[in-house]
Amino acid sequence: MGPYPTLTVAPNLETLAQSAQSFIFSILFGTTLISTAPNRQPVPTENTIKKASLLEIGEIYIPREVDMPCFASLSSAGPDAGSSAHAFQWGNSRVKLAISKEPSSRLRLAQVNGAFRIYLDDKVFIDNVKVLPLAAHAPNQAFLNLSGECMMGCAFCAMAPPDKKESLSPERVLRIVAISSKQNDFGAVAITSGIPDSVAATNGRMIDAIKAVRAEYPGIPIGSEAYIEDLADLARFKEAGATEVKINIETWPESRFQKICPNRNFPKTMESLEEAVKVFGRGKVTSNIIVGLGEDDADIIAGLKALAGIGVVPNVRGIRVGPKNREKLEKALGIVPNKVSAERLISLGEKHRNVLEMNGLTTETFETMCFTCRCCDIVPMADL
Ligand code: SF4
Ligand code: SF4
């Protein structure tokens, strides 16, 4: 059971507690988001409100004198693709932040008497924060990207276009998983890939990698994040040993998808999500929806409802804009998207949780990928 912030106090005290949280939020954001909500309304904790602020800012400066206990990870996929990043935890909240080279960055990590502390605009923001070791890309799991090159050219994606068309072999995957598995809290493997040549060949390599991991680690949960053209690939992923699948719809509605992912097929993606639920089951299929691509909240909610309606547990992710996607986004959208505000992330998180509950779904059924990592998004059932 996740840390749902149920306040086990009498209703009048609960209202007081909610007002206190509302007060904290109003100090942080200059607005009052939370009113006296009914008992079942998700209520963001102070930690979640802080996490949303960190996600909005997205990067942290770490001075040389800070003695980091582990190496940063250089991601080739995910929202921090192309940048080095560290993951942090305080309470049950986790976040992954890109490392900024700018000493004037709004967020700064410091070490005080050996303990790590995050400052926001020169004020102590989070004390006693843990720096999380990353197994491979993510804490507790080896999340491997077989190829950092992709021919699909999605506007938000930082992945490079095809060049060398190299891909990690199953042997190399096994070597990385073996190193990651030496960490005490190692618990999952996930495989994704850019598409350097064709969807069929890419999925074939992913299936081979999954088979190799399954043969060596019979009990480990294995996630797979793929683009599907041939629906029969889903049964092949399952037979190879994958336990969960992520097929990203990326945005909503279809007209925006066509601008953002011009070389991918929206109806085929929805069809493959439906098929994936048949093959893997409800609560074992997920899909990213990116916020900040010019849509309004009603679009996001419509997408969440459509996905949850077919048994998919969607994940809501704020856009991150950097040197590798700024130009592509401007070309596709006509504007460079702004950062998604903490307030919007929290507000959508509350609605996201409601949509999941309305459909009898939860993020807690997942054992791999982003719902267990919890570093890049406001995750319903974990964060609120
Ligand atoms: S399919 Fe699109 S989002 Fe996925 S790796 Fe390729 S370019 Fe990036
Ligand atoms: S939340 Fe997902 S994308 Fe972000 S670090 Fe974790 S596994 Fe990677």
Segment 274-284 mean pLDDT: 98
Which of 285, 295, 284 is CA-nearest to residue 251?
Answer: 295
Q: What pLDDT score was predicted for residue 159?
A: 93
Percent of the chain surpassing pLDDT 70: 88
List the residue whose alpha carbon is closest to atom 4 of ligand 1: 194
Q: What pLDDT score was predicted for residue 12?
A: 37
How many angstroms from the chain centroid is the CA of residue 199?
Answer: 23
- Tens digit of pLDDT for each residue in 7-18? 222 333 333 344
Name every residue whose Cβ is closer than 8 Å to that of residue 15 and which is 6 or more positions away in sequence: 36
- Asked if residue 152 has its Cβ within 6 Å of ligand 1, the reply is yes
Segment 209-227 mean pLDDT: 98
Ligand 2 atom, smallest distance to 190 CA: 7
Domain limits, the chain: 1-43
Number of Cα atoms under 13 Å in the Cβ half of residue 182: 5
Name the residue with higher pLDDT: 83 or 199: 199
- Tens digit of pLDDT for each residue in 124-141? 999 999 999 987 999 999
Q: How far is the CA of 143 from the centre of ligand 2 (A)?
A: 8
Query: Do strands 84-90 and 73-74 pair parallel, antiparallel, or not at all (unpaired)?
Result: antiparallel
pLDDT confidence bin for 43, thresholds 50/70/90? confident
Sign of CA dihedral 108, 111, 112, 117: positive
- Asked if residue 355 has its Cβ within 6 Å of ligand 1, the reply is no
Q: What pLDDT score was predicted for residue 37?
A: 43
Sign of CA dihedral 291, 159, 276, 380: negative
pTM of the model: 0.88
Q: What pLDDT score was predicted for residue 41?
A: 66
Ligand 2 atom, smallest distance to 96 CA: 5
List the residue whose alpha carbon is closest to atom 4 of ligand 2: 376
Q: What one-letter code names the amino acid at 145?
A: N
Determine the Cα–Cα distance for residues 369 and 371; give it in Å rounded to an integer: 6
Take residue 207 and report the two structure tokens written for it: 């299936």
Which of 293, 292, 310, 227 is CA-nearest to residue 255?
Answer: 293
Q: How far is the CA of 16 from the centre of ligand 2 (A)?
A: 35
List the residue whose alpha carbon is closest to atom 8 of ligand 1: 157
Take residue 363 and report the two structure tokens written for it: 């993020």
Percent of the chain surpassing pLDDT 90: 83
Ligand 1 atom, smallest distance to 77 CA: 5
pLDDT confidence bin for 354, thresholds 50/70/90? very high
Segment 369-378 mean pLDDT: 98
Contact call for residues 350 and 205 (beta carbons, < 8 A)? no
Q: What pLDDT score was predicted for residue 274?
A: 98
Mean pLDDT score of the chain, rounded to an integer? 90
Helix (H) or strand (E) holding 162, with range, is: none
SS3 category, 197: coil
Sign of CA dihedral 72, 84, 287, 146: negative
Edge-to-edge strands of the sheet including 313-318? 137-138, 141-145, 188-192, 222-225, 244-246, 285-291, 313-318
